[in-house]
Amino acid sequence: MAVDSAVYTLMGTNPRLAFQASQPALVLASGSETRRALLASTGLSFTAFAPDVDETAVKVATRRDGGTPEASALTLARLKAQAYRGEDALVIGCDQILVCDGVWFDKPPTMDAARLQLQTLRGRPHVLVTATVLYRGGQKVWTHLAKPKLTMRTFTAGFLETYMAAEGEALLHSVGGYRVEGLGMQLFEAIEGDQSAILGLPLLPLLSYFRTQGIILG
Residues involved in catalysis: 95
- pLDDT value, residue 86: 84
- pLDDT value, residue 1: 35
Enter the pTM of the model.
0.88
CB-based contact 114:187 (threshold 8 Å):
no
Instruction: Specify the amino acid at residue 68.
Output: T
Q: State how far the Cα of 43 lies from the Cα of 49, in Å rounded to an integer.
A: 18
Q: State how far the Cα of 149 lies from the Cα of 91, in Å rounded to an integer.
A: 27
Closest to 137 measured CA to CA, from 65, 196, 87, 210: 87
Complete domains list, the chain, with CATH: 7-212 (3.90.950.10)
Within the chain, which residues score under 50 in pLDDT?
A: 1-16
- pLDDT value, residue 52: 92
- pLDDT value, residue 203: 97
- pLDDT value, residue 14: 41
Q: Among the residues of the chain, which ranges form H helices?
A: 33-40, 55-64, 69-82, 111-121, 157-167, 195-198, 203-212
Q: State how far the Cα of 80 lies from the Cα of 1, in Å rounded to an integer.
A: 12
Output the CA angle 126-208-213, nearest 5 degrees. Answer: 135
Q: State how far the Cα of 29 lies from the Cα of 14, in Å rounded to an integer.
A: 26
- pLDDT value, residue 12: 34
- pLDDT value, residue 46: 93
